[in-house]
């Protein structure tokens, strides 16, 4: 079928490929996370499946799915940007062949892609190139065979966005393991970004090991959790508030900033090869993430310049 395409469609497909690759490079340069730890590329379905403990998808038939709702891939999440632009020149031949089929009105079109649905988000099981080409050509939706996973948490809207599902699942596991609702009622640990609760659990586990070494005994988990909250979390929050970083990202919680500043503290210690006080890390975090920081302004200007001319 591809071999019979006219020179006109071959030329158009090559042109669309060049445009897509140029946009991919610009997209990678322009992307600036709205807050630390934000996902920059496509999501890995296998990771989401493990984090949400997804089981037994239900076949929902053939549907027209909005292309913007497709956020990840089962195995090729590294081959495309978050906008499904081709991120590798090795995709060229197959991408252009599919583009020719899309462009030629006599070709009969392409078969439906295969998608997994989780909440309101979709992941490509088969058809990554077709999704990429369709988006590049300005299509709004794509025909797909859809398998849907039942909501992992019954208390949530089954069509909740993916971040909401992940955060809720992580929080459920965190509270089940720590029993903080019983140990420290009103603890107020609430995160608004995925990935934070596992970081907190790892911190508590490390703190338990440190306490056991210091005390020369096996410190029980519940004792370690309570001591971590009193000695580490609460004192760290006080230092972070004194550093004045809470205003950097309105709408984020004290626990969000605890996770980000603690991670920044570890990065600074690795960079400088010495211990860094939390208050130092908080101030450095504030300086690097301030909206009027010169480097951020320069990057914003360059992104605007690229958007203006391209």
Indicate whether this model's pTM tops 0.85: no
For residue 155, the number of C-alpha atoms closer than 13 Å in the C-beta half-sphere is: 4
Mean pLDDT of the region 80-98: 93
Position 187 scores a pLDDT of 95
Which residues 6+ apart lie within 8 Å of 159 measured at CB? 119, 120
Q: Where along the chain do its domains lie?
A: 2-149, 162-289
Low-confidence winner among 120-124, 252-256, 276-280, 304-308 (lowest mean pLDDT): 304-308
Position 269 scores a pLDDT of 93
Alpha carbon 132 to its chain's center: 19
Task: Dump pLDDT digits (tens) for 242-284.
Answer: 888 888 888 899 999 999 999 999 999 999 999 999 999 988 8
Position 1 scores a pLDDT of 44
Instruction: Say whether pLDDT at 130 is over 50.
Output: yes
Task: Give whole-number Cα distances, 252 to 246, 256, 287, 289, in Å.
Answer: 8, 6, 18, 14
Position 289 scores a pLDDT of 77
What is the C-alpha separation between 236 and 284, in angstroms, rounded? 15
Task: Dump pLDDT digits (tens) for 152-196.
Answer: 676 667 678 888 899 999 999 999 999 999 999 999 999 999 999
HEC string for 11-80 = HHHHHHHHHHHHHHHHHHHHCCCCCCCCCCECEEHHHHHHHHCCCCCEEEEEEEEEHHHEEEECCCCCCE
Residue labelled with tokens 């998608």 = 115
Position 75 scores a pLDDT of 86
Radius of gyration of the chain (CA): 24
**157: alpha, beta or left? (left if phi > 0; alpha if psi -120 to 50):** beta
Task: Dump pLDDT digits (tens) for 17-49.
Answer: 999 999 988 876 655 555 555 555 789 999 999
Residue labelled with tokens 């239900």 = 58
Residues 59 and 144 sit within 8 Å (Cβ to Cβ): no
Instruction: Say whether pLDDT at 291 is over 80.
Output: no
Strands 113-118 and 58-66: unpaired
Percent of the chain at pLDDT above 90?
A: 63
């Amino acid at each position: 079928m591809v071999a019979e395409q006219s020179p006109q469609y071959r030329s158009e497909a090559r042109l669309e490929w060049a445009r897509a690759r140029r946009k991919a490079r610009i997209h990678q340069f322009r992307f600036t996370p709205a807050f630390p730890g934000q996902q920059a590329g496509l999501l890995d379905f296998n990771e989401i499946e493990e984090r949400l403990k997804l089981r037994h998808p239900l076949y929902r038939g053939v549907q027209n799915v909005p292309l913007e709702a497709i956020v990840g891939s089962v195995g090729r999440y590294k081959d495309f940007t978050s906008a499904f632009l081709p991120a590798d020149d090795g995709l060229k031949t197959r991408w252009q062949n599919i583009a020719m089929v899309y462009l030629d009105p006599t070709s009969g079109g392409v078969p439906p892609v295969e998608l997994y649905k989780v909440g309101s988000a979709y992941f490509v099981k088969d058809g990554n190139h077709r999704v990429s080409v369709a988006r590049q050509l300005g299509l709004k939706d794509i025909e797909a065979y859809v398998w849907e996973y039942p909501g992992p948490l019954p208390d949530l809207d089954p069509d909740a966005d993916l971040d909401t599902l992940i955060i809720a699942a992580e929080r459920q596991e965190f509270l089940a393991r720590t029993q903080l609702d019983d140990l420290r009622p009103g603890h107020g640990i609430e995160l608004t970004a995925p990935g934070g609760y596992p970081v907190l659990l790892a911190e508590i586990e490390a703190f338990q090991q440190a306490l056991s070494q210091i005390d020369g005994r096996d410190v029980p988990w519940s004792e370690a959790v309570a001591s971590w909250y009193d000695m580490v979390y609460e004192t760290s929050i006080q230092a972070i508030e004194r550093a004045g970083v809470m205003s950097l990202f309105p709408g984020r919680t004290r626990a969000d900033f605890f996770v980000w500043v603690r991670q920044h503290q570890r990065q600074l210690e690795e960079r400088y090869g010495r211990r860094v006080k939390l208050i130092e890390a908080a101030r450095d975090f504030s300086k690097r993430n301030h909206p009027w920081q010169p480097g951020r302004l320069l990057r914003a200007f360059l992104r605007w310049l690229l958007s203006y001319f391209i």
